[in-house]
Amino acid sequence: MNHRRVTDGHPDDGSGEGIPGPRRPGGRTANGLALVAPVQTSAHRLHRAPSVRLAEITRLPGTAARDPHPLLSHTRGSAARGGAVPEGATEVTVGRRAVLEALLAAGLGPGPNTLAAPTARGRGTAPVAGPRPPAGLLGREIRRLPTSRRVVALTFNAAWDESGLGTVLAELRRRRAPATFFPTGMYAEARRAAVRAMAEAGHGLGNHSYSHPYFDDLSTRERAREVRAADAAIRKASGAEPLPFFRFPYSSTTEDSVADVNDLGYAAIEFTNDTNGYLGPAGGMTVNEAVRRAVDSLEPGAVLQMHVGSSTGDGVVLDAEALPKIIDAALEEEYAVVDLREFLASQAP
């Protein structure tokens, strides 16, 4: 694995660009998959919004009440580089049994072989007890899900504010569409109600570090503290069991940092492409341009990264405005929206 320092949509290097995902091949067939919704039941069907034509788009530059499947999201954190986890931060080592039980109840639990902890490398990073991602999600960063199905996963980072969260959750609820949220620990501490709302809406919660530092600048022990402190904050805020999915700040990964996260029991879930909606109008972005970037990234197993907050504090969240069109475009291209939790099983369908 090559050393990567990229911006994952953060304005770190001045470009504002995330990692460009591979463009989808031309010539879509008409007989795509039937649309699916959250992992629980086939009754959760995505609903098409009032007519939005793909042609119009592409030519413009915690377990809780409703669905017991919480995920986690994160947006680029405001504490971008080097924010330290407080010395007293608790290193959570409690199990993720609740998630496993929920997955098993839904018929999606990992097989016995997938629960084995990754081989420890003797660096003092004892894995968090509980279900482990299957071997196919370990040993590398995941930028496309391991499937040949015409499915796309919607993911949202949370590290700034919650300006667009209500709109995002309402649209996902209207479509009965699953998503994964990746909050930072600092976000979870500062905006507990927002993180709890993600979980109570039935979406999964991942881990986006505590203070959003560059992980390639940290030692193995410092990385473990970031991951564990975020886990503790997310659990407390959401009242839910976070999933064993980690997304690197700035999407900046190295072979060593991925191995450290794997040793802690997490798969490194990155993304195929960022919509760059976080740049906002001030950064030259529009709703239609964000949709175009999403559409151009569609391929089997694509993972789209979006954000629930405003990076400038102006309250404008283009990803929230673009979400209905992105879902419509996926439907028109015969893609289903898939729940990342399906891929906790050793062999995802």
Q: Which residues pair with 180 in a beta bridge?
A: 155, 204
Flag whether the pTM goes above 0.85: no
Say if 309 falls within a structural domain.
Answer: yes
| Strand (E) or helix (H) holding 306 | strand 302-307
Q: Which domain, by its residues, includes 249?
A: 54-119+129-344
* Contact partners, residue 327, CB within 8 Å, separation at least 6: 46, 49, 171, 175, 177, 337
- Determine, yes or no, domain membership for 288: yes
Task: Indicate whether 340 belongs to any domain.
Answer: yes
Note whether 227 and 246 are within 8 A (CB): yes
Phi–psi pair at 156, nearest 5 degrees: -135, 125
Residue 127's pLDDT is 63
Kindly state whether residue 268 falls inside one of the protein's structural domains.
Answer: yes
pLDDT at site 347? 55
What DSSP string runs through 130-197?
S----GGGSSSEESB-S--SSEEEEEEEESS--TTHHHHHHHHHHHT---EEEE-HHHHHH-HHHHHH
Q: Is residue 16 part of a domain?
A: no
Is the residue at 339 inside a domain? yes
Evaluate whether residue 280 is within a structural domain: yes
Residues 6+ apart with CB under 8 A from 87: none
57: DSSP letter:
H
CB 316 within 8 A of CB 280: yes
Give residues with Cβ within 8 angstroms of 245, minimum separation 6: 71, 72, 133, 180, 182, 204, 206, 207, 266, 267, 269, 340
Domain count of the fold of the chain: 1
Is residue 104 domain-resident? yes
Tens of pLDDT, residue by residue, the chain (349 residues): 444 444 444 444 333 333 333 333 333 333 333 333 333 333 334 444 443 333 333 323 333 333 333 333 333 333 333 333 333 333 333 344 444 444 444 444 333 332 233 334 445 456 654 568 999 999 999 999 999 999 999 999 999 999 999 999 999 999 999 999 999 999 999 999 999 999 999 999 999 999 999 999 999 999 999 999 999 999 999 999 999 999 999 999 999 999 999 999 999 999 999 999 999 999 999 999 999 999 999 999 999 999 999 999 999 999 999 999 999 999 999 999 999 999 998 655 5
pLDDT, residue 345, reads 82
CATH of the domain at 72: 3.20.20.370
Q: Which amino acid is residue 142, in one-letter code?
A: I
**What's residue 306's pLDDT?**
98
Q: What pLDDT is attached to residue 172? A: 98
